[in-house]
């Protein structure tokens, strides 16, 4: 007896569409958004924060443009995470976290 079940395989990756970043009452311009995100994003991404289109371009491209601006991996991940929350329509005051405090070493001289 032979089985006639076939498994459907898909070789195309699932692509998630990212919504473009737009102004909101809490953040009327891109500099305000980067200032609220923190992590020196407003100082390091100043050239890309001239308009929402340029900032959305960075968000859609990913971390390569941020790496060129001199942001480290943790900061890039945090900023991209914040952009994802913001593009979903959440206000920055709902999802912004302060950076972790440095670890304390005890017993070392």
What are the DSSP calls for 7-55, one per residue?
A: -----SPPPPPPPPP---SS-SSHHHHHHHH-TTHHHHTTTGGGSHHHH
Counting DSSP H helices and E strands in the chain, the numbers are 6, 0
pLDDT at 1: 58
Question: What pLDDT is stored for residue 7 in this prediction?
Answer: 65
Whole-model pTM? 0.72
- Other CB atoms closer than 10 Å to residue 35's CB: what's the count? 15
Q: What is the pLDDT along the chain (109 residues), one digit of tens a residue?
A: 566 666 666 665 555 678 888 888 888 999 999 899 888 888 888 888 888 998 888 888 888 888 888 888 988 999 999 999 998 888 888 888 777 788 888 766 5
pLDDT of residue 23: 86
């Amino acid at each position: 007896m032979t089985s006639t079940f076939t498994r459907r395989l898909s070789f195309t990756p699932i692509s998630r569409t990212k919504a473009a970043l737009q102004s909101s009452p809490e953040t009327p311009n891109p500099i305000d958004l980067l200032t609220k995100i923190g992590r020196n994003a407003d100082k390091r991404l100043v050239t890309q924060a001239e308009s929402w289109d340029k900032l959305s371009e960075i968000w859609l491209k990913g971390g390569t443009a941020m790496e060129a601006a001199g942001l480290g991996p943790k900061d890039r991940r945090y900023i991209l995470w914040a952009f994802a929350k913001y593009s979903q329509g959440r206000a920055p005051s709902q999802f912004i976290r302060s950076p972790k405090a440095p670890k304390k070493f005890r017993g070392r001289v």
